[in-house]
């Protein structure tokens, strides 16, 4: 993917190098350091704007950002890449929502290492990237990029872009009220019946990732091989593989995701149409 000269998102919350802080993040609306932490943070010269997730004035992820974490050059490059991808999703979804007479609200992307506390509970990086509707944030441990390359055998920058776009797809579903509907369904159907809804939900996120990729292509941002990288990743990140990596933590985004074929099909379909009108995975699955 071509990223040169493009802005990164200001909606990045850098929690890398910090352990999970139980009870803090939700009450504080994103900072989660607690009062002592805030005082220490300010004493250390931190910007309270970035602490509260306002992003300060930075574009992209600052080296050794609000968390004080400084990764390897490769990690920082990846953080910058993810930041540009997030900014691109803000732009594309902002345009699509505007065309529909709606307003897109940017989600926050939390970078973390190891494990993280969200409104969806405590999660280990073993579950892979996820989106939590409760706080409208995406959670990504960048080491997943290496997993994609090595364990899932889906290398390439656009494989990672697909992963981010899929999680953003869940955010779009939240803004469209689909996540709320799902929460209601969950209360009235059995676990087994709910799995089918879950598959529809996941495949729709793949469709929405495809919609985004189509707009990237139209803007001239795709390079040769990018589409194939995304398809390979869509095929590789089956639900079973991700669940196997779980280690007993709460797993917010580990429902049944659909088969490799289904995931590739819906991503391609989103890429084909590039709109909100052809992604009714629920009807397609007979729901």
Which of these ranges, 92-100, 138-146, 205-213, 264-272, lies near Zn ion under the rule CB under 5 A? Answer: 205-213
DSSP 8-state symbol, 140: E
CB of 118 to Zn ion, least distance (A): 14
Which C-beta is closer to Zn ion: that of 67 or that of 174?
174
CB contact at 8 A, 8 and 60 = yes
Which C-beta is closer to Zn ion: that of 178 or that of 205?
205
Measured over all CA atoms, what is the biggest interatomic distance in the chain, rounded to whole angstroms? 57
Which of these ranges, 32-40, 135-143, 204-212, 242-250, lies near Zn ion under the rule CB under 5 A? Answer: 204-212
Which of these ranges, 82-90, 227-235, 253-261, 271-279, lies near Zn ion under the rule CB under 5 A? Answer: 253-261
CB contact at 8 A, 89 and 168 = yes
Which C-beta is closer to Zn ion: that of 33 or that of 110?
110
Instruction: Considering only residues 43 through 82, tell me which ones interact with Zn ion, judged by CB under 5 A.
Output: none
Which of these ranges, 38-46, 157-165, 184-192, 247-255, lies near Zn ion under the rule CB under 5 A? Answer: 247-255
Which C-beta is closer to Zn ion: that of 92 or that of 168?
168
CB of 72 to Zn ion, least distance (A): 28
CB contact at 8 A, 201 and 162 = no
β-bridge mates for residue 130, sequence order: 139
CB contact at 8 A, 165 and 208 = yes
Site string for Zn ion, 143-182 (x = CB under 5 A): ----------------------------------------
Structure tokens at 261: 């074929």
Q: Measured between alpha carbons, how far is 264 from 184 in angstroms, rounded to an integer?
A: 28
Q: Which helix (H) or strand (E) holds 186?
A: helix 178-188
Query: Tokens 């579903």 identify what position?
Result: 173
With a CB cutoff of 8 Å and minimum separation 6, the contacts of 129 are: 138, 139, 140, 141, 144, 163, 164, 167, 253
Using CB under 5 A, count the residues that bind Zn ion. Answer: 3
Which C-beta is closer to Zn ion: that of 147 or that of 253?
253
CB of 206 to Zn ion, least distance (A): 8
CB of 84 to Zn ion, least distance (A): 21
CB of 234 to Zn ion, least distance (A): 11
Which of these ranges, 65-73, 80-88, 136-144, 198-206, lies near Zn ion under the rule CB under 5 A? Answer: 198-206
Which C-beta is closer to Zn ion: that of 9 or that of 174?
174
CB of 210 to Zn ion, least distance (A): 14
β-bridge mates for residue 135, sequence order: none
Q: Measured between alpha carbons, how far is 241 from 172 in angstroms, rounded to an integer?
A: 25
CB of 106 to Zn ion, least distance (A): 19
CB contact at 8 A, 121 and 42 = no
Which C-beta is closer to Zn ion: that of 148 or that of 205?
205
CB of 253 to Zn ion, least distance (A): 5
With a CB cutoff of 8 Å and minimum separation 6, the contacts of 45 are: none
DSSP 8-state symbol, 189: S
DSSP, collapsed to helix, strand or coil, labels residue 48 as helix
Site residues (vs Zn ion, CB under 5 A): 202, 205, 253
């Amino acid at each position: 993917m071509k990223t040169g000269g493009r802005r990164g998102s200001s909606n990045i919350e850098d929690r890398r190098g910090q352990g999970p802080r139980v009870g803090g993040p939700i009450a504080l609306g994103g900072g989660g350091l607690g009062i002592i932490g805030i005082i220490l943070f300010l004493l250390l010269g931190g910007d309270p704007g970035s602490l509260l997730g306002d992003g300060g004035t930075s574009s992209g992820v600052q080296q050794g950002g609000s968390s004080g974490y400084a990764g390897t050059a490769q990690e920082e490059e990846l953080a910058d890449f993810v930041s540009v991808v997030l900014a691109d999703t803000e732009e594309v979804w902002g345009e699509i929502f505007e065309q529909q007479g709606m307003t897109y609200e940017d989600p926050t992307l939390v970078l973390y290492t190891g494990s993280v506390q969200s409104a969806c509970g405590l999660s280990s990086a073993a579950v892979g990237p996820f989106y939590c509707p409760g706080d409208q944030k995406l959670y990504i441990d960048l080491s997943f990029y290496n997993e994609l390359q090595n364990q899932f055998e889906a290398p390439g920058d656009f494989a990672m872009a697909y992963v981010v776009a899929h999680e953003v797809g869940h955010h779009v579903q939240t803004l469209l009220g689909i996540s709320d509907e799902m929460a209601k369904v969950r209360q009235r159907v059995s676990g087994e019946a709910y799995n089918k809804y879950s598959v529809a939900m996941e495949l729709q996120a793949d469709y929405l990732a495809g919609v985004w990729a189509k707009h990237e292509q139209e803007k001239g941002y795709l390079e040769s091989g990018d589409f194939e990288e995304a398809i390979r990743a869509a095929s590789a990140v089956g639900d079973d593989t991700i669940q196997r990596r779980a280690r007993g933590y709460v797993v917010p985004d580990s429902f049944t995701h659909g088969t490799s074929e289904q995931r590739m099909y819906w991503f391609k379909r989103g890429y084909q149409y590039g709109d909100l009108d052809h992604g009714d995975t629920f009807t397609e699955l007979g729901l």
